[in-house]
Amino acid sequence: MTHIFVLEDNFLLQRRLIEIVSEFEICTRISYSSSILECKKQLLEGDVDVLLADLKLPDGSGRECIKLFSKINPNSISIVMSALSDGNSIIGALEDGAIGYLHKDDNSLQITDAIKMALNGQSPMSPSIAYTVISRIQTLGSFQMKKTNNISSHGILTPRELEVLNMIAKGLSYSETATSLDISEKTVPVHIRNIYKKLQATNRSEAVFEARAAGIIV
């Protein structure tokens, strides 16, 4: 039994999707709504297998339902069907648990094919959506590499700074760090400022994270 839920507020598109899905051989039950609240109610009943969700609804974002579905069912199948094609909407929906994303203007991938792909462990995406995802990943990768290179160009930490960094990474206070390293407590903040500058960090957590990312500490 495959229960498919359609979350769509455009009446004509909703009718069209219901018509297409109802003829799908593996679909034994179909439900639909234009309401986030109603969708959540159906999902909480625990018998929905596939969620086809628009993102921009009158009473909220379809991402709320995708996130809920993913939470209550780790093996949930959510496919976005939206006119939104910006990176934040796409990545946000995928992070919330969607495994597919179709642009409403894309006719290259039929909805039944997309459902079959999803049920077979694949991620159906419109070409334009896939391009946006890849571009975002490449941009993020380039940014991280550039940041790591910038950290290196700002100078390697001195042996003392490295000792101080390891102390704060363990959660020691300035006083405890000074005692442990047998240095003046007044010099600890000086070392800390130098560490922050070289690691391009603004606080202890960022400094430790960047140092580990750059392989300076483990």
Which CATH number characterizes residue 201's domain? Answer: 1.10.10.10
**Is 78 a domain residue?**
yes
Q: Is residue 182 part of a domain?
A: yes
Max alpha carbon distance in the chain (Å)?
A: 77
Q: 193 and 100, same structural domain? A: no
Residue ending a domain, among 110, 135, 160, is 135
Q: Which domain holds residue 192?
A: 146-213
> Do residue 97 and residue 182 come from a single domain?
no
- Do 52 and 27 lie in one domain? The reply is yes
Give the model confidence (pLDDT) of 80-128 as tens digits: 999 999 888 999 999 999 999 999 988 777 899 999 999 888 999 999 8
82 and 157 both lie in a single domain: no
pLDDT digits (tens, 9 = 90+) for 32-55: 999 999 999 999 998 899 999 999
Q: Do 19 and 87 share a domain, yes or no? A: yes
- Same domain, residue pair 193 and 161: yes
Alpha-carbon gap, residue 3 to 25, rounded angstroms? 12
Do 24 and 84 lie in one domain? The reply is yes
Identify whether residues 72 and 168 lie together within a single domain: no
Q: Within a domain: residue 161? A: yes
Query: 168 and 209 share a domain?
Result: yes
* Burial class for 44, CB neighbours closer than 10 Å (0-12, 13-18, 19+): exposed
> What pLDDT does 16 receive?
92
pLDDT score, position 147: 56
Tell me what the pLDDT averaged over the chain comes to: 87
Position 153 scores a pLDDT of: 42
pLDDT in tens, 178-202: 999 999 888 898 899 888 888 888 8
177 & 84 share domain: no
The answer to the question of residue 141 being in a domain is no
- In terms of Cβ atoms closer than 10 Å to its own Cβ (0-12, 13-18, 19+), residue 196 is middle
pLDDT tens profile 62-89: 999 999 999 998 888 999 999 999 888 9
Q: Please give the structure tokens belonging to residue 56.
A: 């921009």
Confidence band (pLDDT; 50, 70, 90) for 159? Answer: confident
Domains in the chain, number: 2
Same structural domain for residues 177 and 208?
yes
Domain for residue 218, yes or no? no
Tell me the CATH number at 101: 3.40.50.2300
Is 140 a member of any domain? no
Least confident segment among 132-146, 168-182, 183-197: 132-146
Q: Is a pLDDT exceeding 50 seen at residue 136?
A: yes
Q: Which of 81, 116, 135 is the last residue of a domain?
A: 135
